[in-house]
Amino acid sequence: MARTPSRKKANEASKHAVSAVFMADNVDSMSKGLVDPSTIKYSEKLVSAIRDRPIYSVSHKNDMDGVSSSALLHKFYSVPTERVKFMEYSEASYNEVAEWLTGKDISNSVVVFTDVGINPGAFKLFQSTLLTLKQKGNMVVWLDHHPWEPEQVNFCAENVSYLVAGENRLMCGADLTYNVLCRKLDSDGKGERLTALAHLMDFNIRSKSTDPLTFRLAQAITYMLWAGKDAENQLRRMVPMVAELDFGNRFIVNNARKYLEEEKVNMEELLSSAKTFSVGEHSITIGFGKRLQSTSACEALMAKSGSDIAAFINYSEGRCSLRSKSGVDSSYIAKAMGGNGHPQAGGFSAPATEYMGFNEKGREKLVKRIVEVASA
């Protein structure tokens, strides 16, 4: 049986503020940070341990990185789409995933979390699910590039089979999935190409040769998220297409086209509601809108105002997306509001019930709260 890393080593990881790379049998040495991308390598032993077992994929639902991570697992490990689950970072979404996993009564299988960060409140709720999976002989592999708190690293040191966690500005979720699990299985190079596209999109890197592809997919994903309860099925349907780089598939193209048909009107609504505030040494522009791709919405807000940080409050979905200029850290806002993210990209839930259905007083309440947090 694989040996679990000692509590001493887990505590050692926590002293270094949250980043850790380890495998339960210590085949891969623990790393105190993720600065050097060479610390994230293909794990022969891990691949050997999981490839002949049923695999379940849980990934982030709101962007190309999460969808691409699931597509890589579908391509290289034949994960059927019915074993794919997409989620947000909210506590409600973690409860939904917990019910999905425990309801399937999974045993002697592998659950792979990719591109999923977790805030402390949600993590406490989810601990019992991880313990149940472990007790039933399952392996849990967690590949994430978002900030983690020390207590989360400590818990996973004893209850997760393999973990990559902590802020990583060099590798997105698809990068981690590909490098740890897929690199040596990629005979046609499509996995590497997909990973490169996901990397550019997740880190908001512009490229003339890739923008049409990445933005078409991002627009299609955004449109699918508006499908309500059917969004999950729409995203699952897309996974095999993304796995084969079939971005020209009629399904993807039509969804991207439908997004663009609404974008102009929705962008006008967003910009007309925008207000800019001074928050310490920086400025933040906050706007309310709907049915917009998050990065595009935030970039439009910053372009209009020249602000350092943008908050796009998607009132139709009850969430807020944050983006900031290079060198400006906005992740503290997301975390203080119960969400998660990177220095220049994050988000949090903003339920309509908590903000009076986003009527005038509800909007004022949320704006005041964001400004207070951003000014702290």
Q: Does domain 7-248 have CATH number 3.40.1350?
A: no
State how far the Cα of 322 lies from the Cα of 166, in Å rounded to an integer: 19
Q: How far is CA 167 from the centre of its chain?
A: 12
| Every domain range in the chain assigned CATH 3.10.310.30 | 266-375
Q: With 0-12 CB in 10 A as exposed, 13-18 as middle and 19+ as buried, what is 206?
A: exposed
Mean pLDDT of 78-87: 97
355 φ, ψ to 5°?
A: -125, 40
Q: Quickly state the pLDDT bin for 12 (edges 50, 70, 90).
A: very low
- The alpha carbon dihedral of 91, 97, 98, 103 has a sign of positive
CB 171 within 8 A of CB 114: no
Lowest mean pLDDT among 68-72, 114-118, 171-175, 365-369: 114-118
Burial-class residue 242 by CB neighbours within 10 Å (0-12, 13-18, 19+): buried
Measured in residues, the chain has a length of 376
Which residues, listed in sequence order, are joined to residue 287 by a DSSP beta bridge?
312
Helix (H, G, I), strand (E, B) or coil at 254: helix
- Which amino acid is located at 150 in the chain? P
Within the chain, which residue ranges are assigned CATH 3.90.1640? 7-248
Averaged confidence pLDDT in the chain: 86
In this predicted structure, the answer to whether residue 295 has a pLDDT above a threshold of 60 is yes
Structural Rg of the chain based on CA atoms: 20
Q: How confident is the model at residue 169 (pLDDT cuts 50, 70, 90)?
A: confident
Q: Is residue 17 classed as helix, strand or coil in its secondary structure?
A: coil
Of 41, 101, 17, 96, the C-alpha closest to 349 is: 96
266-375, CATH topology level: Diaminopimelate Epimerase; Chain A, domain 1 (3.10.310)
Which one has a higher pLDDT value, 59 or 155? 59
pTM: 0.81
Please give the single-letter amino acid code of residue 308.
D
Buried b (16+ CB within 10 A) or exposed e, 319-330: bbbbbbeeebeb
Confirm if 57 and 79 have CB atoms less than 8 A apart.
yes
| φ, ψ dihedrals at 23, nearest 5° | -120, 150
Whether residue 237 has pLDDT greater than 50:
yes
d(CA 192, CA 180) in angstroms, rounded, equals 12
Indicate if the pLDDT at residue 173 is higher than 70: yes
Cα separation values, 198 from 5, 133, 190, 225, Å: 32, 29, 12, 18
On the question of pLDDT at 303 being above 90, the answer is: yes
pLDDT surpassing 90 at residue 143: yes
- Helices H / strands E in the chain, number of each: 14, 12
Closest CA to 101 of 114, 110, 88: 110
What pLDDT, on the 0 to 100 scale, is given for residue 23?
46
